[in-house]
Amino acid sequence: MCVELINTGTELLLGFTQNTHLPYLAAQLATRGLRITRQTTIGDDPAEMRATLTAAIQRADLILVTGGLGPTSDDITRDIVAEVLQRPLRLDNAVAETIRERFRKRGREMPKTNLVQAMVPEGATVLPNPNGTAPGLAIEHAGKNIFLLPGPPRELRPMFETYVLPRLSGAPVDCRIFRTASLPESQVEQLVAPALADLTGLELGYCARPGEVEVRIIGPRAAEAEPRVLAALGAHIFSTGHERMEDVVIRGLAGKTIATAESCTGGLIANRLTNVPGSSAVFLAGYVTYSNAAKIRDLGVREETLKKFGAVSEKVAREMAEGARQRAGTDYALSATGIAGPTGGTAEKPVGLVYIGLATPTSTHVQRHTLGFDRETFKFFVSQTALDMLRRELFS
C-alpha cells in the first residue's frame, strides 16, 4: 500500500513553521502497519497543488492532504481537489449551521467568508472538527482514499484519531515503548541492548528528548522482549504509553495533595501539573517566588539563609519546599531554585546550577544538578527532574 502525504502552506516553504504533521502522522499510521512513501510540501499555489494531486492520485492508494481548508483567500485545497476530481462543490447546510453555532457560542456573528468552509465536493464525507471551523473531508475516488485535513495540529490530531484512523485497514504493528527519566541515552542503551542481543529481527530504537529517553521495540518478537526491557530499566520507566510524567504524578497523588515553590522554573511545574484534567483535586497552590522578598514573605524562607547561602543553595531549596508544604497544608511540595541563564552566573554558581527539593510528610530531599541547556530547555529539564523525584517517592 502506497501512502502519500501532501502538506500545503506557504509558511512551511518559507521556513516560518515547522512541519509537525509528518512525524505525527507517521507514528499514527505505523499503528496500522502503514508507512508514508512520499511527503511533499507545496505552497498555496493552484498550479502546484493541481500537479501534485494529479501525480499523487496516479501513484498512491492513500493520500493525506493537510492545510488550506480555512476561510481566507489563500485556502484553496477544497477548490483544487474538487476541480481535479471533477466533483462539483455544494453547500452543506448542516456544516454551515455548525460553523454558525460555533461563532454564536462566542457571542459573535459568522463572517460570510466562513461559508466556503461548508462547501463539500460531491460524494465526499464530512469529518467533524470540534476544535475549529474547518471540517475535514474524506473522498473515495477510483479505489483510492483521499483525506483533506485542517492545518492546525490541535484540529488535525483529534480528527485524525477519531475519524480517519478507524477507516484505515491494516494489522497493527507490534510496537512497544518505554519512557524513562533521569538517565542519559547511552546509559539506557547500555542497560537495554545486552538484554535483547539474542532476539534477532527485533527493531530497536532510542529517542532522546530533554529529560526523557524513549526506547522503542518493533516487530513480532516485541512481546518476548517486553519483560526483559522492564527488568533492565525498572523504576527508571515512568510510562509505557501516552501518559506523560505529569499524568503519572497526578495519578500517583490520588487522595494526597501537592504544592509547588518555584524560582528558576517560573511556574512551569505548576503549569504541567495543571495541564492534567482533574488536577484540581490534588494540586492546591503554587508559589512563583522569583524575588528574594517573595521567598521570605510567601514561603517563610529565612533572610539569614538567603544571606549566608544565597538564593541558589541547598538550604533555600529545602526551606522553599518545606515552607510551601506548610503554608498550603499539603502532603507534598516541590521546589526549584537555580540559574536558568543566559546571564546571572558566577564562577562559584555558574549558569545551569540548580537545587531541586521535595518535602514529604516525613522528610525533605534536595538534589543538586549542573545542566548545560538554553533557558527554556533548562526550565523543562528541571521541572521533569522535580516531577520524577515525586514520582519515584509516590510509587516506591
CA distance 203 to 255: 41
Binder of a second copy out of 8, 44, 211, 317 (CB under 8 A): 44
Binder of a second copy out of 152, 252, 300, 345 (CB under 8 A): 152
Per-residue 3-state assignment (H helix, E strand, C coil) for 51-70: HHHHHHHHHCCEEEEECCCC
Binder of a second copy out of 1, 48, 126, 191 (CB under 8 A): 48
Chain positions 219 to 258 lying near a second copy, rule: CB under 8 A, are: none
Q: Does 135 bind a second copy (CB under 8 A)?
A: no
Contact 68, 9 (CB under 8 A): yes
Which range touches a second copy (CB under 8 A), out of 81-89, 194-202, 247-255, 265-273? 265-273
CA distance 104 to 191: 57
Contact 286, 259 (CB under 8 A): yes
Q: Does 209 bind a second copy (CB under 8 A)?
A: yes
Chain positions 105 to 124 lying near a second copy, rule: CB under 8 A, are: 105-108, 111, 113-114
Which range touches a second copy (CB under 8 A), out of 13-21, 86-94, 224-232, 384-392? 13-21
* Secondary structure class of 340 (helix, strand, coil): coil
Strand-strand pairing, 125-127 and 136-141 = antiparallel
Contact 172, 30 (CB under 8 A): no
Smallest separation, CB 165 to a second copy (Å):
15
Site size toward a second copy (CB under 8 A) is: 115
Binder of a second copy out of 90, 170, 374, 395 (CB under 8 A): 374
CA distance 391 to 396: 8
CA distance 108 to 292: 45
Identify which of residues 121 and 341 has a Cβ nearer to a second copy in the complex.
341
CA distance 86 to 345: 65
Q: Which residues contact 25 (CB under 8 A, 6 or more apart)?
A: 5, 36, 64, 160
Chain positions 23 to 42 lying near a second copy, rule: CB under 8 A, are: 23-27, 30, 35-42
Q: Does 300 bind a second copy (CB under 8 A)?
A: no
DSSP H or E run through 120:
strand 119-121
Binder of a second copy out of 91, 227, 278, 346 (CB under 8 A): 278
Binder of a second copy out of 22, 57, 191, 230 (CB under 8 A): 22
Q: Does 285 bind a second copy (CB under 8 A)?
A: yes
Q: Which of 255, 261, 247 is nearest to 333 (CA)?
A: 261
Identify which of residues 124 and 250 has a Cβ nearer to a second copy in the complex.
250
Give the count of beta carbons closer than 10 Å to the beta carbon of residue 63: 23
Binder of a second copy out of 269, 358, 366, 394 (CB under 8 A): 269
Q: Does 91 bind a second copy (CB under 8 A)?
A: no
Binder of a second copy out of 88, 123, 184, 220 (CB under 8 A): 184
Q: Does 361 bind a second copy (CB under 8 A)?
A: no
Cβ burial of 154 (10 Å; 0-12, 13-18, 19+) is exposed
Cell of 342: 543566559
CA distance 349 to 377: 19
Identify which of residues 88 and 278 has a Cβ nearer to a second copy in the complex.
278
Q: Does 71 bind a second copy (CB under 8 A)?
A: yes
Binder of a second copy out of 33, 228, 373, 392 (CB under 8 A): 373
Smallest separation, CB 122 to a second copy (Å):
26
Gyration radius (Cα) of the chain, Å:
26
Binding mask 320-349 for a second copy (x = CB under 8 A): -------xxx----------xxxxx-----
Q: How many alpha carbons fall within 13 Å on the CB side of residue 139?
A: 26
Binder of a second copy out of 91, 193, 223, 254 (CB under 8 A): 193
Q: Does 162 bind a second copy (CB under 8 A)?
A: no
